């Protein structure tokens, strides 16, 4: 017995309203003309990749950070208008950003 059958047993007079179809619109990231900076740093002896220079909204930047972390299966954070990724993934991040239409500049090392 599924949930719909159980609800019909509990409320026999209730007629469900037709469900409204919500169209999901893919969120478009703002693609800027200026290049984003992808640099390598060591923090507390550990390698980190830092992405800076995004001119869009913070929400777009957070979405981009989550997407990068998911594709690379690594940890990271969004802090002070920069994305901090654990490990040296500059080459892979640059490929991901270029596929999305961003210009990326490699800095350091």
Bridge partners for 42 per DSSP: 47
| φ, ψ of residue 48 in degrees (nearest 5) | -135, 150
pTM (predicted TM-score): 0.69
* pLDDT one-digit tens code per residue, 94-103: 999 899 888 8
Which residue has tokens 């002070």?
80
What are the structural domain ranges in the chain? 30-107
Q: For every residue of 26-68, which 3-state class applies, written as one string?
A: CCCCCCCCCCEEEEEEEECCEEEEEEECCCCCHHHHHHHHHHH
30-107 carries CATH number 3.40.50.970:
no
pLDDT at 55 over 90: no
- How many angstroms separate the CA atoms of 94 and 53, rounded? 14
């Amino acid at each position: 017995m599924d949930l719909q059958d159980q609800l019909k047993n509990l409320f026999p007079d209730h007629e469900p309203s037709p469900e409204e179809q919500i169209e999901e619109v893919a969120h478009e990231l703002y693609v800027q003309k200026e290049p984003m900076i992808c640099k390598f740093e060591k923090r507390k002896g550990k390698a980190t990749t830092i992405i800076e220079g995004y001119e869009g909204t913070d929400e777009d930047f957070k979405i981009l950070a989550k997407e990068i972390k998911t594709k690379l299966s690594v940890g990271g954070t969004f802090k002070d208008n920069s994305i901090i990724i654990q490990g040296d993934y500059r080459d892979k991040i640059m490929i991901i950003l270029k596929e999305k239409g961003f210009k990326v500049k490699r800095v350091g090392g």
